[in-house]
Amino acid sequence: MNLPRRMRRLRLHEPLRRMLQSVSLRRGDIIVPVFVVEGENVRREVASMPGVHQMSVDVAVPWLAERANEGFGAYLAFGVIDRAKKDTEGSAALDENNVVCRLLRSVTAQKIHMAGITDLCFCEYTSHGHCGPLTADRSTVDNDRTVEQLVKQAINHARAGAAVVAPSGMMDGVVGALRKGLDSAGFTDLSILSYSVKYASAFYGPFRDAADSAPEFGDRRSYQMDPARGIDEAITEAKQDVEQGADMVMVKPAGAYLDVIRAVRGSIEVPLVAYQVSGEYAMIEAAARNGWIDRDRAILESLIAIKRAGADMIISYYAPVLARLLPN
Ligand code: PBG
């Protein structure tokens, strides 16, 4: 058959195939999440996230030092506190000696060469598990009161040495308030990575085990986005955050939202971070453990797809595996 173009020609030679790759994945693209718990010498595997552990500060710090040596440049800290310390307002989030602040200080003291990003949210600190204090009728999170509290949480993390704060509660106006609050507290160089486009997703299930942050009643649909809503909402959220001062924006989850990553990428001019969330991790792990997929290949393919869609950086639980799979 005479075909002017045979697409397979360029696929025939392995070295050529390699040269034609235009999407790359480096360790430096990956942000490493870490769940910090109270106590000492604690290293507890999360049941729904095999291979991921909750760690006390003394265990998390050397673990992060290993990641730094492997070439990973940033970590994302989540505080997991004892139930007894939770209240309706999430006040433990503002304690300067909570696990997140202790981790930040310890990483700095040990001169670990990694930027500290902190998740700004109250779901890990409130007794009801919602992302901030509730309205008087307890029907939803009180947006404006939560924003005030988030600014205080950010300043608390900034004082402990955070390089970046990442508001994840989908509260309106949070980025502008954070910029203003951080600037007036003297933290003009602290960056904001906004979880701008965050869907109310079933894929966060395992995380809520890891962070002990499942809502006690209801769900998060009155503040997180509806997966069935059109792309306009995602673009407006991202643009609005950039206008308010976000240095980077995030789309979350990643794998089921590649179209959203692509669209947001095309409409903003700051770095875009995508979050390969706990459920995405758990699905790959479960299938691999059953022998149904090739784990290493599925991990790389899932992350390459997120890069191809337009993400500059990816938050992924796979850092330790990627240290084996990717060149530094
Ligand atoms: C909120 C937060 C969540 C995740 C990151 N930050 C959970 C939620 O919105 O309920 C989920 C991350 C994951 O699933 O890996 N603090």
Question: Taking the model in full, what pTM does it have?
Answer: 0.97
* Distance from residue 93's CA to the centre of ligand 1 (Å): 16
The beta-carbon contacts of 211-217 under 8 Å, at least 24 apart in sequence, are: 211/35, 211/78, 211/80, 211/123, 211/124, 212/80, 212/83, 212/124, 213/123, 213/124, 213/129, 214/129, 215/123, 215/128, 215/129, 215/130, 216/127, 216/128, 216/129, 216/130, 217/128
Q: What is the pLDDT of residue 207?
A: 94
Instruction: Read off the amino acid at residue 323.
Output: A
* C-beta of 316 in contact with ligand 1 (< 6 A): no
Nearest ligand 1 atom to the CA of 315 is 15
Query: What is the tens place of the pLDDT at every residue in 290-327?
Result: 999 999 999 999 999 999 999 999 999 999 999 999 98
In a domain? residue 164: yes
C-alpha distances out from residue 35 to 14, 212, 226, 233, 284, Å: 41, 10, 27, 31, 20
pLDDT in tens, 95-111: 999 999 999 999 999 99
Q: Atom 10, ligand 1: which residue's CA is nearest? A: 204
Closest ligand 1 atom number to CA of residue 317? 15
**Total tally of structural domains belonging to the chain:** 1
What is the full DSSP assignment across 124-161? Answer: TTBTT-SSSPBPTTSSSB-HHHHHHHHHHHHHHHHHHT
Helix, strand, or coil here: 22? Answer: coil
Say if 12 falls within a structural domain: no
Percent of the chain surpassing pLDDT 90:
95
- CATH number of the domain at 161, please: 3.20.20.70
CA nearest 239: which of 269, 198, 261?
269
**Which residue range forms the structural domain that includes residue 215?**
25-325
Question: pLDDT at residue 328 above 90?
Answer: no
Per the model's pLDDT, the better-predicted residue between 208 and 65 turns out to be: 65
Residue 15 included in any domain: no
Q: Could you report the per-residue pLDDT of 250-284, keeping only the tens digit for each? A: 999 999 999 999 999 999 999 999 999 999 999 99
276 within a domain of the structure (yes/no): yes
How many whole angstroms from 9 Cα to the centroid of ligand 1? Answer: 45
Would residue 194 count as lying in a domain?
yes
Does the residue 16 lie in any domain? no
Measured from the CB, is residue 171 less than 6 Å from ligand 1?
Answer: no
- Report the pLDDT averaged over residues 60-89: 96
Tell me whether residue 37 is in a domain: yes
List the catalytic residues.
Answer: 198, 252
pLDDT at 195: 98
168 ligand 1 Cβ < 6 A: yes
User: What pLDDT is recorded for position 327?
Assistant: 83
Does some domain include residue 301?
Answer: yes
Kindly report, residue by residue over 127-172, the tens digit of the pLDDT. Answer: 999 999 999 989 999 999 999 999 999 999 999 999 999 999 999 9
